[in-house]
């Protein structure tokens, strides 16, 4: 009893302690703010035995007299690009998992009343942030943004910023100990200093009503919870302009009826200029409007049933053997998906950078975005559950104004259990606290062939909680065919729309081989596998979309075969050198003909 009490006291103490240092939810539309980029070359120190924090290397001390010495220096050592991963920047860092310190100096010329926020697009996986010798925040989670207010901490000149980054895999992390992609460490996305007026437009949510094609709903929240501040929303092309006064939470909520609206769709990705103005602040961005909902076994986009021609990729540029992080990286990844004839991207398996999300919307892709609840997650761990909830909330807060976003994915390949159900219920609730307009989905790999019924079936009652059910099924690769593809009958998620969210097999580009032999790792066998799967899809009655795994070969320490894999997952339709494999053309033909 005593020790239980002690634990509770300790828990409360630790919660406060960590809360104090935790980074804040980011403001909406960072790319529309006044900002100073802190991207570029940073100094770095590899700290494999975690000595830096104890030695307070973030103080960046220099010997001042004859007896002083310091066993570190940020100058004249390793230099790393930010953003980027560290693994691709030095051969000896390829497999590195541990701590690396990043540091740089910066100056700030600010208007006297400005507030200043330090913003990170993503740091993988944990980090502590030190400014001018003091720890000012920490963050966990490798794919979501965070900010820390530094208004009262920055000087006009000579600020010293140090970030202690650690990408060690742990059982309580998300993802956890093993996953099928490279564990790229570092400051992997943009770093900015954002400046705002004292009271600024912190958050807004402007989207078309889920079902009504002529009703735009808008909510705006100021950074200060005070009533009677004026907020104006304007969409000039739709002749919308309305000024409202905030309630005592500093928020407004309204809706507009628009008789003539051109809705966004993959074929015509129309966006409108939206501007929001408050007393001292103004922010603009391009927003699109569309309806997406489910009725029975169909998914409706703008009142018409749609078949989702999807593809997945990791946030990686294979040729560079590193993380993708820039707009030109996004152009590369998305152009290949466009060429394949896709109307959707399943962003695997974590929120990818905002350049990709924003460009995908402009290019006409629907998006499925998920957090890395990828196998092996400890569903019994309460703090992991809280972390996952925060991650999904951060993802939605960042992207909720992107009409391209059609799906929030809560998990990939989980096994039924009570703790799993509680965990996923919690994630769905966290999604719906912020946004009830998107479709909720999750990918399962539990399909099996029932020999008595001669049918593919799945037994996981949790699917009833989802708008759309998704399954990953590797027929012809991990599972030999128990029946020929043209006879394959599916009785899975009847009454709900179903997406085959992964299928495929590996082929080493340029390798010819026996088209019937799985272990030939040949383009010929991969093509056979695609033909068979595409045939099977014709017999899945509630199939409303497919998403082959995967667009590009990607790096993964999961993959052990020395010659055929060599640390790569070779299920790509495009090779690590950017060449299309035979199966790419089969998929292209399928997408060109299915509607």
The CB-of-176 to ligand GCB minimum distance in angstroms stands at 13
- Per-position x/- string for 436-465, each x denoting binding to ligand GCB as judged by CB under 6 A, each - no binding: ---------x--------------------
The CB-of-312 to ligand GCB minimum distance in angstroms stands at 8
Per CB under 6 A, the list member of 43, 88, 353, 412 interacting with ligand GCB is 412
The CB-of-115 to ligand GCB minimum distance in angstroms stands at 41
Sign of CA dihedral 492, 569, 83, 177: positive
Cα–Cα distance measured from residue 28 to residue 126, given in angstroms and rounded to the nearest whole number: 23
316 near ligand GCB, judged by CB under 6 A: no
571 near ligand GCB, judged by CB under 6 A: yes
Residue closer to ligand GCB by CB (options 159, 412) is: 412
- Per-position x/- string for 479-508, each x denoting binding to ligand GCB as judged by CB under 6 A, each - no binding: -----------------------x------
The CB-of-549 to ligand GCB minimum distance in angstroms stands at 5
Sheet of 455-457: strand order equals 448-450, 455-457, 490-491
Q: Which of residues 213-272 bind ligand GCB (CB under 6 A)?
A: none
CB 583 within 8 A of CB 527: yes
Cβ count within 10 A of residue 475: 23
Residue 453 three-state SS: coil
140 near ligand GCB, judged by CB under 6 A: no
Which residues pair with residue 147 across a beta bridge?
Answer: 24, 119
Per CB under 6 A, the list member of 86, 130, 549, 590 interacting with ligand GCB is 549
Cα–Cα distance measured from residue 570 to residue 519, given in angstroms and rounded to the nearest whole number: 13
Per CB under 6 A, the list member of 315, 413, 460, 582 interacting with ligand GCB is 413
Cβ count within 10 A of residue 486: 10
190 near ligand GCB, judged by CB under 6 A: no
Nearest to 410 by CA among 376, 433, 448, 439: 439
Residue closer to ligand GCB by CB (options 33, 571) is: 571
Residue closer to ligand GCB by CB (options 438, 571) is: 571
Which residues pair with residue 222 across a beta bridge?
Answer: 201
Contacts of 285 (CB under 8 A, 6+ apart): 29, 31, 32, 273, 274, 401
- CA gyration radius, the chain: 25
Q: Using CB atoms within 10 Å of the CB of residue 95, give its burial: 0 to 12 exposed, 13 to 18 middle, 19+ buried.
A: exposed
315 near ligand GCB, judged by CB under 6 A: no
The CB-of-391 to ligand GCB minimum distance in angstroms stands at 17
Residue 305 three-state SS: strand
Residue closer to ligand GCB by CB (options 161, 308) is: 308
Contacts of 17 (CB under 8 A, 6+ apart): none
180 near ligand GCB, judged by CB under 6 A: yes
569 near ligand GCB, judged by CB under 6 A: yes
- What residue number has its CB nearest to ligand GCB? 180
Contacting positions for ligand GCB (CB under 6 A): 180, 349, 412-413, 445, 472, 502, 549, 569, 571
């Amino acid at each position: 009893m005593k020790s239980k009490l002690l634990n509770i006291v300790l828990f409360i103490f630790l919660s406060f302690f960590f809360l104090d240092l935790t980074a804040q939810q980011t403001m909406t539309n960072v790319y529309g703010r006044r900002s100073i980029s802190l991207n570029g070359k940073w100094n770095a120190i590899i700290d494999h035995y975690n000595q830096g924090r104890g030695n307070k290397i973030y103080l960046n001390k220099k010997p001042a007299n004859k007896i002083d010495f310091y066993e570190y220096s940020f100058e004249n050592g390793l230099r790393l690009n930010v953003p980027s991963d560290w693994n691709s920047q030095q051969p000896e860092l390829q497999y590195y998992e541990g701590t690396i310190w990043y540091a740089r100096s910066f100056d700030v010329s600010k208007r006297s009343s400005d507030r200043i926020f330090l913003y990170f697009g993503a740091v993988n996986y944990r980090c502590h942030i030190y400014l001018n010798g003091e720890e000012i925040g920490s963050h966990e989670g490798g794919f979501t943004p965070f900010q820390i207010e530094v208004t009262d901490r920055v000087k006009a000149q000579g600020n010293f910023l140090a970030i202690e980054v650690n990408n060690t895999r742990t059982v309580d992390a998300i993802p956890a100990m093993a996953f099928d992609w490279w564990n790229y460490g570092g400051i992997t996305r943009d770093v900015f200093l954002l400046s705002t007026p004292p009271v600024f437009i912190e958050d807004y949510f402007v989207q078309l009503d889920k079902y009504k094609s002529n009703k735009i709903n808008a909510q705006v929240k100021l950074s200060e919870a005070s009533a009677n501040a004026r907020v104006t929303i304007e969409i000039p092309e739709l002749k919308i302009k309305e000024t409202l006064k905030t309630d005592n939470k500093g928020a407004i909520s309204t809706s507009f009826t628009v008789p003539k609206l051109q809705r966004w769709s993959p074929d015509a990705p129309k966006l409108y200029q939206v501007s929001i103005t408050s007393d001292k602040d103004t922010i603009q961005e391009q927003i699109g409007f569309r309806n997406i909902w489910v009725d029975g076994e169909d998914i409706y986009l703008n009142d018409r049933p749609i078949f989702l021609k999807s593809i997945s990729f990791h946030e990686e540029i294979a040729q560079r053997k590193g993380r993708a992080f820039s707009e030109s990286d996004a152009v590369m990844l998305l152009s290949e998906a466009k060429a394949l004839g896709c109307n959707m991207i399943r962003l695997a398996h974590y929120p990818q950078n905002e350049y990709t999300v924003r460009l995908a919307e402009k290019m006409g892709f629907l998006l499925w975005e998920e957090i890395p609840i990828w196998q092996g997650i400890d569903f019994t761990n309460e703090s992991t559950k809280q972390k996952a909830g925060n991650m999904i909330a951060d993802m939605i807060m960042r992207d909720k104004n992107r009409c391209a976003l059609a799906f929030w994915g809560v998990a990939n390949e989980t096994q039924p259990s009570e703790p799993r159900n509680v965990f996923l219920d919690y994630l769905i609730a966290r999604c719906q606290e912020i946004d009830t307009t998107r479709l909720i989905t999750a990918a399962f790999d539990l399909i099996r062939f029932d020999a008595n019924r001669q049918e593919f079936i799945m037994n996981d009652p949790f699917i009833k909680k989802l708008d759309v059910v998704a399954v990953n099924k590797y027929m012809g690769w991990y599972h030999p065919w128990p029946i020929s593809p043209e006879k394959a009958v599916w009785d899975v998620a009847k009454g709900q729309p179903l997406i085959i969210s992964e299928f495929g097999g590996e082929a080493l580009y340029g390798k010819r081989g026996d088209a019937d032999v799985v272990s030939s790792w040949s383009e010929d066998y991969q093509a056979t596998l695609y033909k068979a799967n595409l045939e099977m899809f014709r017999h899945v009655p509630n199939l409303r979309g497919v998403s082959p795994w995967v667009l590009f070969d990607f790096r993964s320490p999961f993959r052990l075969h020395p010659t055929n894999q060599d640390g790569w997952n070779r299920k790509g339709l495009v090779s690590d050198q950017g060449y299309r494999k035979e199966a790419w053309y089969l998929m292209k033909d399928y997408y060109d003909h299915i509607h």
